[in-house]
């Protein structure tokens, strides 16, 4: 609605899981939101030429944003999650933008879209801006403002060591192991099958 100074609120909040799956054949990664955590970690299934294995069920949430003043609503179905850049690669554009933002008294998170077997699904920049507004509207004025960057600006996704803001390891009966990057393809084991955190968590033996 023209002229409305939107005041955003969360709406349609749904808790669930962001599933991370790897194809051990082509090292592809795909992610999607699921209300349930099935299949469990380590389970595999075949789809075409790909052999997908669930490597993580990250507890997360999805929601829409609604303006409390005019009712305008935006779904955020394209948003997989938010990632904190750990500055692992000075050559990465995100790191450069992060440093620039911090020099200007802001701070940065990276908005991720989902990935399917064809690759990353872009997330509209306009939605990232609305989401940043949502968070900025509810922080104390003295605190640095948030800027949301798009994951499309990450130089090499498969080398990113940032931390997602989601919950992993909550269900592990053992103290949660140190987090490995979910975006980095695991090193291949002899025989071609890659190990994962999931295997350790479930006590699976890799052949």
Number of residues that bind other proteins (CB under 8 A): 37
Looking at the Cβ atoms of 83 and 92, the one nearer to other proteins is: 83
Looking at the Cβ atoms of 124 and 144, the one nearer to other proteins is: 144
User: Applying CB under 8 A, which part among 23-31, 33-41, 149-157, 182-190 lies near other proteins?
Assistant: 33-41
* 174 contributes a contact to other proteins by CB under 8 A: yes
CA geometry: angle at 85 spanning 57 and 14, to 5°? 35
Looking at the Cβ atoms of 119 and 176, the one nearer to other proteins is: 176
- Residue 89 CB coordination number (10 Å): 16
- Interface residue with other proteins among 1, 91, 170, 187 (CB under 8 A) is 170
User: Applying CB under 8 A, which part among 64-72, 122-130, 157-165, 190-198 lies near other proteins?
Assistant: 157-165
Looking at the Cβ atoms of 59 and 75, the one nearer to other proteins is: 59
CB of 129 to other proteins, least distance (A): 16
Looking at the Cβ atoms of 73 and 143, the one nearer to other proteins is: 143
Which tokens hold the place of 62? 């999805």
CB of 189 to other proteins, least distance (A): 27
Picking from 57, 71, 66, the residue whose alpha carbon sits closest to that of residue 15 is 57
Q: For residues 93 and 206, give the distance between their C-alpha atoms in angstroms, rounded to a whole number.
A: 36
Name which of residues 91 to 110 contact other proteins (CB under 8 A). Answer: 107, 109
* 68 contributes a contact to other proteins by CB under 8 A: no
Binding site residues, other proteins, CB under 8 A: 10, 13, 15, 35-38, 59-61, 63, 82, 84, 107, 109, 135, 138-140, 142-144, 146, 163-167, 169-176, 179
């Amino acid at each position: 609605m023209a002229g409305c100074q939107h005041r955003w609120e969360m709406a349609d909040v749904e808790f669930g899981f962001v599933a991370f799956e790897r194809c051990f054949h082509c090292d592809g990664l795909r992610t999607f939101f699921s209300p349930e955590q099935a299949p469990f970690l380590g389970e595999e299934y075949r789809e075409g030429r790909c052999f997908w294995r669930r490597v993580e069920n990250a507890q997360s949430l999805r929601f829409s944003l609604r303006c409390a003043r005019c009712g305008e609503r935006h779904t955020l179905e394209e948003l997989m999650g938010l990632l904190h850049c750990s500055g692992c690669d000075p050559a990465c554009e995100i790191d450069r933008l992060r440093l620039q933002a911090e020099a200007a008294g802001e701070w940065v998170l990276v908005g991720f879209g989902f990935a399917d077997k064809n690759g990353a699904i872009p997330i509209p920049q306009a939605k990232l801006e609305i989401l940043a507004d949502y968070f900025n509207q509810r922080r104390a004025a003295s605190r640095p403002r948030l800027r949301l960057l798009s994951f499309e600006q990450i130089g090499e996704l498969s080398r990113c060591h940032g931390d997602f803001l989601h919950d992993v390891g909550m269900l592990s009966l053992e103290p949660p192991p140190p987090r490995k990057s979910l975006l980095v393809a695991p090193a291949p084991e002899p025989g071609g099958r890659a190990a994962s955190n999931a295997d350790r968590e479930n006590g699976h033996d890799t052949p």
